[in-house]
């Protein structure tokens, strides 16, 4: 049954812009829809928060704040956030739509992957997380469901719904945020999260890609959590014999139960992955897992199925390599079943007429040619040793040991490789090169950092320009009163002036609202007097277009916004609503009536009543006269005086 037909949001348009076309997936925090941006005519994914969470104002505020922060992660391997908004009870994010499948879909369909495929997926994931970690965020819910593989082969990290600031220590009461199979021990024990919890989860994901199974399992989530706390993740080679030791080391390093033993963040883990790959041969990278580990398996408890379309994982062939004969010509080898071409049997009675001596001669010629080539090349060629993530001195030592020289050193910024370590070489590691030839190294300068400029007292527009000139971005702006910083100028930045930050980082600003002003009470004043009082206090005046009935005379101030006693900034505007006079109603005629009856009629009509008895009316009970004649109109709530005789 198509559940999207029962979804009330399908077919609706949010904010007059996003037409919801179909439901894609349902998660713990939100539902994801495919939608059309009618303004830009493009398909995107719309993530709509569940109504129960949308009713929590504090949660929505944090969701919006963190969504804006994640939107600044302009990285090719992070699902991009385009827009955020609310429409009625719906709180939503408009995000990049990735047509393809999730890593979970791939593992369910194919089981264990070849090491090369596993690393091809892991490396862009770590690049994305590394950018997030360096920008100050932790994902906290890394798992195969949140790794999207596009139809074009691109890998992207999705669902930063549980993202937190690196500096934020998150604790939970009676609950652990995340998915049990990928939680780090410190998340379970203390509810804390820093970049190393993402490193742990990526180690579990790598184990699962290499083996087709998760390292910890049990009949209940509690059993899985217990194993995370008390048992090491086993080496993948224990389940898949023949896997290289370097892959076991990668998994062990990333999933160490003690956080301090793990790589500090995803960028550091990426350096280890690149080094491990460089040390593996093509045969080791392309080794097929045993057939028993390639069967599909179910992971229903973690299923998200984000944007499923294809269960085929493209793998690009080396440059110049032939395709699989499918005629695509796009250099992408897709999963398919290949059959060897049939060899036609020799016809009955047919024999080769070629003399045996001719065949032997041909074989000898080939052997001699091979021997000649071996003789010519022997001792003249070698291969560039693994150099990635080595320090400059270590790389030079390795090259010298291999009989090679350093031709020169170039330096470049890198967000993922530590300062002083090798990020590339020419020729590359593993390339065939003549003995005693030279290699040019590229060494990391680390992330490009810039210094936060001094902005105190600088007008906001000029502060934005200074940040941009320094290679930084403006972050969240808050406004506060200040007695010594002019209105509209920066009071302080976070981080403060002089702090070194990665280029492109967002800097939060506190902007002055000026000195606080106590708003005077101008109700019951005429407009000219009220305007003068407010102007003298340093405030501006706006008169509302509508007028209201009130107890005040026509033309007097009936109400003001903000109210008396509120604090406003100098130059703020106070809106005045003028009175069109009290509401008038017809006065009942009570002359000649009993005084008690007369009072009841007048009070029911909305008037106040006073009695005038004088000396002659001390003992009387009849109304001889009323201050407003019966049938005339008087302001509602006004006082009618009765003369009693």
Backbone phi, psi, residue 239, to 5°: -100, -30
Q: Closest Cα to residue 148, out of 108, 121, 171, 166? A: 121
Q: Is the pLDDT of residue 416 over 70?
A: no
Please tell me the least confidently modeled range out of 26-35, 222-231, 353-362, 635-644.
353-362
Euclidean distance between CA atoms 343 and 562, whole angstroms:
92
Mean pLDDT of 299-316: 33
Is 37 designated active site?
A: no
Q: Which residue has the tokens 């509120």?
A: 566
Instruction: Kindly state whether residue 375 falls inside one of the protein's structural domains.
Output: no
The Cα diameter of the chain in Å comes to 158
Bridging pattern class, strands 567-569 and 584-586: unpaired
pLDDT one-digit tens code per residue, 154-210 = 899 987 754 454 443 333 333 444 678 899 998 888 877 889 999 999 999 999 999
Instruction: Kindly state whether residue 366 falls inside one of the protein's structural domains.
Output: no
pLDDT one-digit tens code per residue, 30-42 = 889 999 988 888 8
Instruction: Give the chain's count of helices (H) and strands (E).
Output: 15, 33
pLDDT one-digit tens code per residue, 41-50 = 889 999 898 8
Is the bond into 427 cis (omega within 30 degrees of 0)? yes
Instruction: Kindly state whether residue 593 falls inside one of the protein's structural domains.
Output: yes
- Under 8 Å between Cβ of 630 and 589: yes
pLDDT of residue 617: 62
- Indicate if 477 and 530 belong to the same structural domain: no
Instruction: Kindly state whether residue 610 falls inside one of the protein's structural domains.
Output: yes
Boundary-marking domain end, from 262, 280, 315: 315
- Indicate if 521 and 546 belong to the same structural domain: yes
Q: Is the pLDDT of residue 557 over 50?
A: yes
- For residue 69, name the pLDDT band (cuts at 50, 70, 90): low
- Under 8 Å between Cβ of 546 and 561: no
Mean pLDDT of the chain: 79
Q: Which helix (H) or strand (E) holds 566?
A: none
Q: Which residue has the tokens 């695509």?
A: 328
- Indicate if 457 and 567 belong to the same structural domain: no
As a dihedral over the C-alpha atoms of residue 540, residue 546, residue 550, residue 556, rounded to 10 degrees, the angle is 40
- For residue 150, name the pLDDT band (cuts at 50, 70, 90): confident
- Indicate if 152 and 241 belong to the same structural domain: yes
- For residue 294, name the pLDDT band (cuts at 50, 70, 90): low
- Indicate if 65 and 48 belong to the same structural domain: yes
Q: Which domain holds residue 8?
A: 1-97
pLDDT one-digit tens code per residue, 2-12 = 444 578 889 88
- Indicate if 35 and 73 belong to the same structural domain: yes
- Higher-confidence residue: 61 or 372? 61
Residue 20: which CATH number? Answer: 3.30.200.20
Euclidean distance between CA atoms 205 and 459, whole angstroms:
49
Instruction: Kindly state whether residue 365 falls inside one of the protein's structural domains.
Output: no
Which residues does 356 contact at the CB level (< 8 Å), separation at least 6? none
Q: Is the pLDDT of residue 312 over 70?
A: no
Instruction: Kindly state whether residue 330 falls inside one of the protein's structural domains.
Output: no
pLDDT one-digit tens code per residue, 342-388 = 334 444 444 443 433 333 344 334 333 443 333 333 346 788 888 87
Residue 560: which CATH number? Answer: 3.30.10.20
Buried b (16+ CB within 10 A) or exposed e, 160-183: bbbbbeeeeebeeeeeebbbbbbb
- Indicate if 162 and 261 belong to the same structural domain: yes
- Indicate if 167 and 270 belong to the same structural domain: yes
Boundary-marking domain end, from 315, 331, 360: 315
- Indicate if 269 and 188 belong to the same structural domain: yes
This prediction has a pTM of: 0.49
Instruction: Kindly state whether residue 608 falls inside one of the protein's structural domains.
Output: yes
Instruction: Kindly state whether residue 341 falls inside one of the protein's structural domains.
Output: no
- Indicate if 245 and 111 belong to the same structural domain: yes
Catalytic residue among 2, 15, 87, 141: 141
pLDDT of residue 415: 67
Total of domains in the chain: 6
Boundary-marking domain end, from 578, 594, 628: 578
- Indicate if 212 and 236 belong to the same structural domain: yes
pLDDT one-digit tens code per residue, 455-508 = 999 999 999 999 988 888 887 788 888 889 998 999 999 889 998 887 877 788
- Higher-confidence residue: 81 or 459? 459
pLDDT of residue 65: 67
- Indicate if 164 and 278 belong to the same structural domain: yes
């Amino acid at each position: 049954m198509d559940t999207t037909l029962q979804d009330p949001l399908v077919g609706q348009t949010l904010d007059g812009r996003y037409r919801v076309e179909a439901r894609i997936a349902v998660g713990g925090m939100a539902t994801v829809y495919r939608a059309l941006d009618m303004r830009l005519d493009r398909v995107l994914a719309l993530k709509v928060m569940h109504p129960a969470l949308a009713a929590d104002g504090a949660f929505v505020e944090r969701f919006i704040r963190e969504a804006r922060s994640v939107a600044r992660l302009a990285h090719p391997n992070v699902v991009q956030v385009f827009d955020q908004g609310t429409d009625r009870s719906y709180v939503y994010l408009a995000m990049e739509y990735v047509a393809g499948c999730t890593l979970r879909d791939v593992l369910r369909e194919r089981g264990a992957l070849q090491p090369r495929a596993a690393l091809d997926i892991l490396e862009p994931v770590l690049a994305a997380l590394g950018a997030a970690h360096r920008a100050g965020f932790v994902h906290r819910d890394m798992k195969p469901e949140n790794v999207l593989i596009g139809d074009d082969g691109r890998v992207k990290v999705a669902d930063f719904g549980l993202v937190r600031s690196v500096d934020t220590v998150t604790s939970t009461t009676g609950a652990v945020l995340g998915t049990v199979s990928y939680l780090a021990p410190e998340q379970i024990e203390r509810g804390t999260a820093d970049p190393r919890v993402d490193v742990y989860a990526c180690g579990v994901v790598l184990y699962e890609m290499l083996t087709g199974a998760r390292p910890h399992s049990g009949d209940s989530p509690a059993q899985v959590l217990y194993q995370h706390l008390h048992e090491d993740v086993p080496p993948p080679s224990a389940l898949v014999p023949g896997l290289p030791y370097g892959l076991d080391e990668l998994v062990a390093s990333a999933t160490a139960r003690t956080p301090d033993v793990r790589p500090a963040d995803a960028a550091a883990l990426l350096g280890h992955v690149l080094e491990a790959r460089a040390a593996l041969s093509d045969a080791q990278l392309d080794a097929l897992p045993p057939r028993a580990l390639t069967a599909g398996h179910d992971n229903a408890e973690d299923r998200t199925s984000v944007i499923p379309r294809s269960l085929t994982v493209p793998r690009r062939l080396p440059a110049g390599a032939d395709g699989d004969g499918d005629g695509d010509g796009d250099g992408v080898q897709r999963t398919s079943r290949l059959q060897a071409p049939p060899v036609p049997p020799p016809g009955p009675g047919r024999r080769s007429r070629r003399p045996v001596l001719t065949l032997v001669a041909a074989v000898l010629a080939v052997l001699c040619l091979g021997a000649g080539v071996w003789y010519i090349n022997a001792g003249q060629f070698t291969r560039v040793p693994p150099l990635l993530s080595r320090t400059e001195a270590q790389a030079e030592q390795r090259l010298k040991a291999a009989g090679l020289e350093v031709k020169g050193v170039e330096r470049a910024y890198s967000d993922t490789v530590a300062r002083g370590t090798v990020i590339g070489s020419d020729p590359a590691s593993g390339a065939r090169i003549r003995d005693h030839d030279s290699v040019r190294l590229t060494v990391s300068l680390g992330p490009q950092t810039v210094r936060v400029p001094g902005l105190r007292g600088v007008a906001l527009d000029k502060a934005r320009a200074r940040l941009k000139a320094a290679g930084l971005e403006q972050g969240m702006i808050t406004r506060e009163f200040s007695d010594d910083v002019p209105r509209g100028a920066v009071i302080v930045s976070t981080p403060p002036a002089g702090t070194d930050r990665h280029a492109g980082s967002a800097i939060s600003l506190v902007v002055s609202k000026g000195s606080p002003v106590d708003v005077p009470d101008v109700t019951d004043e005429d407009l000219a007097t009220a305007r003068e009082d407010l102007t003298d206090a340093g405030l501006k005046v706006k008169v509302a277009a509508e007028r209201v009935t009130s107890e005040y005379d026509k033309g007097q101030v009936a109400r003001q916004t903000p109210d008396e006693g509120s604090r406003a900034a100098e130059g703020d505007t106070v809106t005045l609503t003028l009175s069109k006079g009290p509401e008038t109603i017809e006065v009942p005629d009570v002359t000649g009536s009993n005084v008690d009856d007369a009072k009841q009629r007048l009070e029911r009509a909305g008037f106040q009543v006073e009695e005038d008895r004088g000396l002659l009316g001390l003992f009387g009970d009849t109304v001889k006269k009323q201050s407003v004649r019966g049938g005339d109109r008087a302001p509602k709530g006004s006082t009618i005086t009765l003369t009693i005789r």
